[in-house]
Amino acid sequence: MRVCCLRVFVDGELWDCLLIVKHNRKYVLYTTIDQLPFRMSAELCSLGLNGARDPMPAVMDANRLEFIIKTLENSDLLKQSVVRHMNSVASVDNNNILVGFNDVQLVTPEKYRLPYTWCELYEKTDTEYRELENIMAWLSTLGGAFSSLGDQTEHCAIVAGNISLQQLRIAMRIGDPLTAARCKLYAAISLMQRGFYKQAKLIVQNQYMFIKSQLVVDERLIKMCCGIWTKLRYEWNRKKCLKKKNIVHFYIKS
């Protein structure tokens, strides 16, 4: 196995380290030694490459170094060429690892190459994201007020449901699946208040399974699902009891 270490120095001090590893005829680029497998990383650290210096370091600015890194990421041919032309070599015979290193002396460029188009796009996206979060907060306050009145007034439950749908659209626009799940649970509360128990049941069950399937489970959403489920069972049982009472009163009057 061959390893080429590109060490970047700024004012004589080690600033960054790039590694190209050839293993089983494949060339892999690592932008830091921490990305290497543990055994390989330990072997490279034991070499003490910081003490040795490349007698002919390459001098380049940040713009050129960025271009080289991007090219290395996409070109196996360039990786192969860099490994072949290693200036200094240190071998580790015990594990059959051949390690070479090239030094790069980083200097300040005359003019920095800034991606103005990308910066403008990022600024626009960030501003839109913050505005959407602000709208989401206001809608949450308004929706909570109408939802609290939804048990007594059907009109308030309908308004709360419409607000939940608006929040869901914003959450999908932002790209936040957990916030979208919370909005769907709000919509389930509105449906339950209006008597659509089966639809509310399906929403709560689906969102519960979705939240449980996430890598990091949001316990607050799980408790929210359990709370809505408990209220849904209570409302369903209360509706069944009212139906039985109405049937009994009907037969008594008959």
pLDDT digits (tens, 9 = 90+) for 48-105: 454 566 677 888 888 888 888 888 888 888 888 887 776 555 555 455 667 777 788 8
The domain made up of 116-228 has a fold known as 1.25.40
Q: What share of the chain is helix, strand, coil (3-state, %, to 5)?
A: 60, 20, 20
Q: How far is residue 180's CA from residue 82's CA, in Å, rounded to a whole number?
A: 48
pLDDT digits (tens, 9 = 90+) for 110-151: 877 777 788 888 888 888 888 888 888 899 899 999 999 998
- 22 class by beta-carbon count within 10 Å (0-12 exposed, 13-18 middle, 19+ buried): middle
- 90 class by beta-carbon count within 10 Å (0-12 exposed, 13-18 middle, 19+ buried): middle
Cβ-proximal residues to 60 (8 Å cutoff; 6+ apart), any chain: 68, 104, 105, 106, 107
Domain boundary assignment for the chain: 2-107, 116-228
- pLDDT (0 to 100) of residue 197: 92
Confidence of residue 205 (pLDDT cuts 50, 70, 90): very high
* C-alpha dihedral (12, 14, 20, 22), degrees to nearest 10: 90
Q: How far is residue 221's CA from residue 211's CA, in Å, rounded to a whole number?
A: 7
What does the DSSP 8-state code read for residue 20? E
Q: Residue 62's closest CA among 130, 116, 16?
A: 16
Cβ-proximal residues to 67 (8 Å cutoff; 6+ apart), any chain: none
